[in-house]
A = this chain, B = another copy of it.
């Protein structure tokens, strides 16, 4: 039985959900995987809570469900406690990084992951920012490029939640040559386009998506295609092994999509989706794009529902590999953090 000392940074929907799904699984983790997760430090915008003996997960979840920060945890809470300082000074085996990271700077996640690697901690990321802004650096300071003596880096939840988009690409297609990728990686636009298929206008779909909490008050990152582009960027760097910048990608969002576009695409069983593509480019590199695209009825994505994501890899020896996931909000991403953790420590 291995006891894994964990640090968890970020206790928004994903971080909180990760803690919520653990208690019911403790017995399974012990028996089937031979591991026990001990949280020695957690942090959110209120500060940190640190205890080498392990924090009370139920107490943290209860606090967060009252919309209060971990700094308020009796005895162990540290109001204003700094996340970076916690990672730099708390002894742990694994950093679970789930802060809302700035997609321009990768912060605060980037510095947190750097600090963890400096201290030899393994890292499981649910946040995208640092992977988007500094993938090469993170790969070079971890085992991602193949040096198993370096700390491990896993991030299967950062690209499309529970959908094993990264795992299928780097592990199940190992040894083959990937010819192309098609993917639907953004939940908000998939929900909105589905609503439009059901008769809503763009504005109505956006308003409804915001009302049910699927779209942010400022929906720009999602509806302009940048969230999907960031995920495709991670696939390009991590799976296609093609160092790529956002500026090299062609990105079109769904803000210009009309009901007429939806109806035309839906004719004969097709559908309009926000499609991420990696296809052979002129210069021997992959050309990467994100754009509203009409797919025909026979395309695996033509019947993707509201909460579904999907990826299609074309490989020389593995043929066409399709993966689709119907997930529920933050649970899928939290589940991916658990799968990554078990891939590192599970027996």
- A interface with B by C-beta (< 8 Å): 21, 25, 28-29, 32-34, 145-148, 156, 162-164, 167-168, 171-177, 241, 298, 300, 303, 315, 317-328, 331-332, 334-335, 338-339, 341-343, 346-347
CB <8 Å contact, B339 and A162: no
CB <8 Å contact, B171 and A339: yes
Least CB distance, A139 to chain B, in whole angstroms: 13
Using Cβ atoms and an 8 Å threshold, which residues of chain B touch A339?
A: 171-176, 318
Identify A342's interface contact among B147, B175, B241, B342, CB under 8 A.
B175
CB <8 Å contact, A319 and B325: yes
CB <8 Å contact, A172 and B167: yes
Task: State A288–B213 Cα separation when bound (angstroms).
Answer: 40
CB <8 Å contact, B146 and A25: no
Using Cβ atoms and an 8 Å threshold, which residues of chain B touch A318?
A: 162, 325, 327, 332, 335, 339
Using Cβ atoms and an 8 Å threshold, which residues of chain B touch A156?
A: 172
Give the copy number. Answer: 2
Least CB distance, A238 to chain B, in whole angstroms: 13
CB <8 Å contact, B172 and A164: yes
Given contacts A175-B28, A339-B174, contact A162 B319 (CB under 8 A): yes
CB <8 Å contact, B338 and A174: yes
Using Cβ atoms and an 8 Å threshold, which residues of chain B touch A172?
A: 156, 164, 167, 339
CB <8 Å contact, B346 and A332: no
Least CB distance, A240 to chain B, in whole angstroms: 12
Task: State A339–B318 Cα separation when bound (angstroms).
Answer: 10
CB <8 Å contact, A176 and B319: no
CB <8 Å contact, A175 and B317: no
Using Cβ atoms and an 8 Å threshold, which residues of chain B touch A167?
A: 167, 171-172
CB <8 Å contact, B320 and A322: no
Least CB distance, A170 to chain B, in whole angstroms: 10
Identify A321's interface contact among B147, B148, B320, B325, CB under 8 A.
B325
CB <8 Å contact, A162 and B324: no
Using Cβ atoms and an 8 Å threshold, which residues of chain B touch A175?
A: 25, 28-29, 33, 335, 338-339, 341-342
Least CB distance, A17 to chain B, in whole angstroms: 9
Using Cβ atoms and an 8 Å threshold, which residues of chain B touch A320?
A: 324-327
Give the 5 A-B residue pairs with the shortest CB-CB distance, closest first. A146-B347, A319-B327, A175-B338, A317-B335, A322-B324
